[in-house]
Amino acid sequence: MTISISGTGISRGIAIGSVHRLEKGEVDACQTAIPEHLIEDEIARFRQAINTARQQLKSIRNRIPATTPADITDFIDTHLLMLEDSLLTATPIELIREHQCNAEWALKIQRDALARVFDEMDDAYLRTRVDDVDHVVKRIHRILVGQTCEEPEDGDLQECIVFAHDLTPAEAALLHHQGVAGFVTESGGPLSHTAILARSLGMPAIVGTHGIPYQIRDGETVILDGAEGLLLAGVDNMTLAKYRARQQQQQQRACNLKRLTNEPAVTIDGVPIQLLANVELQEDVEAARIAGADGVGLYRTEFLFMNRSDIPGEEEQLQQYLDILNALQGLPITIRTLDLGADKNVSSHASGERISPNPALGLRAVRLCLKHKELFRPQLRAILRASASGPVRMMIPMLSSARELDEVLELLAVVKQELNQDGLAFNENMPVGGMIEIPAAALTADLFARKLDFLSIGTNDLIQYTLAIDRTDDAVTYLYDPLHPAVLRLIKLIISAGRANGVPVAMCGEMAGDPRYTRLLLGMGLEDFSVQPTSLLEVKDMIKRSDIASIKATVDRILQQDDPAAILPLMATIGATPAA
Ligand code: PEP
Ligand code: MG
């Protein structure tokens, strides 16, 4: 019998593979009395579980290619180190003896005691390391209760479709490195950073399925259709053949688009469009070059800070920027300053912050950086120093007021002075731009345009904040609408403010990479697009088949509509669909 599950398709493409459930749920550690004569057996069981946990982690570590960035591997190393620590290996044994209890319970008591110690620490960063303790404890608990198949032993995750309750961006990156074909999560929204990463990695994925039936067993072959947000299990051979044929067609289409790689992105009526790439991980840079990007329009530096137990210092950041600059072989790069917070793992990095009651509206991005200059200053120094070696631009996220921008520019001036005093080279005229992604900034875009060298529209957050929909909450995904008149008017306002002040305006939100919106944006006057490397050629194809002069009148009509329902039929008349 075929089982079909629907969710939000967040990354297009068809994946066919065998199921691998990542989470087996929490282990309910109950206390059981162990008779005295069996205590040594219980201790042996615990020791064995620790050994198995080590083997599992080492096996994952060994399967990750050597080229994998350190940020992906560091957290595995941290967990391995914890498995050598007597607090997790020896103390539970003492507790088994002392309480004459089972290993699961002893481990739970020790976990709770450690959590209390972490909780009392002054250093908020160290306080958050309890997350790592929890990961390791969970792993040992699962082994103790017999859930040993969390990671396949030898055969890696090649061609697997991973099922999970939720995935962090870092976990998604790791799965990609392990060869996973696609993933399905019960929660999550289309604009979460996990979703963005999945698109960037070209991994078909579905989120927000609200449960995954247990009738679908590990190892069973399933079909994941990322465009339709559909997962099919228990399919017959005919269905399987149909989807394999579709998968081939998509691969063929991607192959055909490659012919555009070295062609300029120019519209039919001769308007040259700049097509840049968004990158998160080092490997995206290669993908951007292969896709023929004109440079990098958004480098999300926060990914360098994730999945690790320390904060990268100035030298490490500089080296990373130089590596990317090198890989770009002379193409420009726009380095965005840290946008930690909200769904980007702030818990492990915010220096001293309590957990925000509403992280998307809390101390995120430039707000966090201005509050914690010890985090910001090394990054500003590293970006400036990188600018001595190539075409580097700096971009500030989440600006909400001109005062905030002034504060950044003042700090930048101080950092420049310090670098001069230290005798370190940098480009005195490094262009500085800002992301316009908060309605307040969009409405006052002219203020920012007067003080900055370029603007870039972050539609992911602009839509989130304009429509008051948490981008990670699948319960409000249905309200996510790039065509909402309020969103369109704000975008138009930003483009016009840039024009009026002679400042280029780019768009680096996901809307820029969706070919359904390319003509609309061209008609609104957008000439700089920064998109995922995986959608770059689709967007280029649309640009090359567009005649701005002939769509302009319809786009103006779209912008005048108050009723969102009236916009879709007008969109259809500008042929806003990618070529089949
Ligand atoms: C955006 O908000 O559109 C954007 C590009 O930034 P991020 O998705 O990293 O918040
Ligand atoms: Mg943003």
Question: In whole numbers, what is the pLDDT of the chain averaged over residues?
Answer: 88
Where do the DSSP E strands lie in 214-289? 221-225, 230-233, 274-279
Where do the DSSP E strands lie in 60-168? 160-164
What would the pLDDT profile of 225-240 be if each residue is shown by its tens digit? 998 999 999 999 999 9
What confidence score (pLDDT) does residue 199 get?
87
Does residue 333 contact residue 392 with C-beta atoms inside 8 Å? yes
What would the pLDDT profile of 148-204 be if each residue is shown by its tens digit? 545 544 456 888 999 998 887 767 878 888 889 999 999 888 877 788 888 888 899
Phi, psi of 457 (to 5 degrees): -85, 120
Closest approach atom of ligand 1 to CA 511: 3
Does residue 556 contact residue 525 with C-beta atoms inside 8 Å? no
Closest approach atom of ligand 1 to CA 509: 3
322 CA to middle of ligand 1, Å? 23
486 CA to middle of ligand 2, Å? 18
Task: Measure the CA–CA gap between 184 and 206, rounded to whole angstroms.
Answer: 5
Ligand having the closest approach to the CA of 487: 1
Name the band, by pLDDT with cuts 50, 70 and 90, for residue 475.
confident
What would the pLDDT profile of 13-63 be if each residue is shown by its tens digit? 999 999 998 865 566 788 889 999 999 999 999 999 999 989 888 877 776
Task: Measure the CA–CA gap between 451 and 352, rounded to whole angstroms.
Answer: 31
339 pLDDT above the threshold of 60: yes
What would the pLDDT profile of 88-120 be if each residue is shown by its tens digit? 999 999 999 999 999 999 999 999 998 888 777
If one residue of 435, 469, 491, 514 were mutated to test the ligand 1 pocket, choosing by the most ligand atoms within 8 A of its CB, it would be 435
62 CA to middle of ligand 1, Å? 33
69 pLDDT above the threshold of 80: no
Taking CB atoms within 8 Å and a gap of at least 24, the contacts of 488-493 are 488/520, 488/524, 488/558, 488/559, 488/567, 489/559, 490/439, 490/442, 490/443, 490/462, 490/466, 491/442, 491/457, 491/459, 491/462, 491/521, 491/524, 491/526, 492/524, 492/559, 493/442, 493/443, 493/445
Closest approach atom of ligand 1 to CA 510: 3
Name the band, by pLDDT with cuts 50, 70 and 90, for residue 349.
very low
256 CA to middle of ligand 2, Å? 32
What would the pLDDT profile of 525-561 be if each residue is shown by its tens digit? 999 999 999 999 999 999 999 999 999 999 999 999 9
Beta-bridge partners for 14 = 225
Ligand 1, CB within 6 Å, residue ranges: 196, 298, 300, 339, 437, 458-461, 508-509
Which of 61-70, 120-129, 570-579 reaches the highest mean pLDDT? 570-579
Average pLDDT of span 456-471: 96
- Structure token digits, residue 507: 């768009």
323 pLDDT above the threshold of 60: yes
Ligand having the closest approach to the CA of 530: 1
Average pLDDT of span 372-388: 97
Measured by CA distance, the residue closest to atom 1 of ligand 1 is 458
572 pLDDT above the threshold of 50: yes
Phi, psi of 275 (to 5 degrees): -115, 105
Does residue 519 contact residue 575 with C-beta atoms inside 8 Å? yes
Looking at per-residue pLDDT, the higher value among 116 and 67 belongs to 116
Is residue 367 classed exposed, middle or buried when 0-12, 13-18 and 19+ CB atoms within 10 A define those classes?
A: middle
Measured by CA distance, the residue closest to atom 7 of ligand 1 is 460
Does residue 167 contact residue 183 with C-beta atoms inside 8 Å? yes
Task: Measure the CA–CA gap between 2 and 362, rounded to whole angstroms.
Answer: 44
Q: Give me the domains of the chain, ranges plus CATH numbers.
A: 3-24+155-257 (3.50.30.10), 36-144 (1.10.274.10), 301-430 (3.20.20.60), 433-539+546-572 (3.20.20.60)
